[in-house]
Amino acid sequence: AQSVTQLGSHVSVSEGALVLLRCNYSSSVPPYLFWYVQYPNQGLQLLLKYTSAATLVKGINGFEAEFKKSETSFHLTKPSAHMSDAAEYFCAVSDFNQAGTALIFGKGTTLSVSS
């Protein structure tokens, strides 16, 4: 069965610092991988997704993630944090080989950005 582990339920950074949110997945088949963000009082918004093309995926708002099969990881990074990045971030996986499957989410990581 597929699973997702997000290390750290809460990450705090200073404005301008590097953001690194960790995600490891478990899947017996090639996965699709996603990062979603939820701002306060809003729904989930897709940041980026990996669908077996380039292993380095660029998303919105300056975020990017690298698919590393050997490490079964898909960590999310941003070189310089902005106050507006404060939100909850979710890593998710779905089954590459089975069309239409549900997303399996990690528990989420809340990012706080201080000035």
Partner 1 sequence: EAGVTQFPSHSVIEKGQTVTLRCDPISGHDNLYWYRRVMGKEIKFLLHFVKESKQDESGMPNNRFLAERTGGTYSTLKVQPAELEDSGVYFCASSQALGGSTQYFGPGTRLTVL
Q: Where do contacts with partner 1 occur on this chain (CB under 8 A)?
A: 4, 32, 34, 36, 41-46, 49, 51-52, 90, 94, 96, 99-108
Nearest CB to partner 1, comparing residues 17 and 24: 24
d(CA 72, CA 3): 11
d(CA 41, CA 108): 16
Nearest CB to partner 1, comparing residues 43 and 115: 43
Nearest distance from C-beta of residue 97 to partner 1, angstroms: 9
Identify each DSSP E strand in 1-115 by its residue range: 3-7, 10-14, 19-26, 31-38, 44-50, 56-58, 64-68, 73-78, 87-95, 104-105, 109-114
Nearest distance from C-beta of residue 15 to partner 1, angstroms: 27
Nearest distance from C-beta of residue 65 to partner 1, angstroms: 14
Instruction: Please give the single-letter amino acid code of residue 81.
Output: A
Nearest CB to partner 1, comparing residues 64 and 88: 88
Residue spans of alpha helices (H) in 10-92: none
Nearest distance from C-beta of residue 14 to partner 1, angstroms: 27
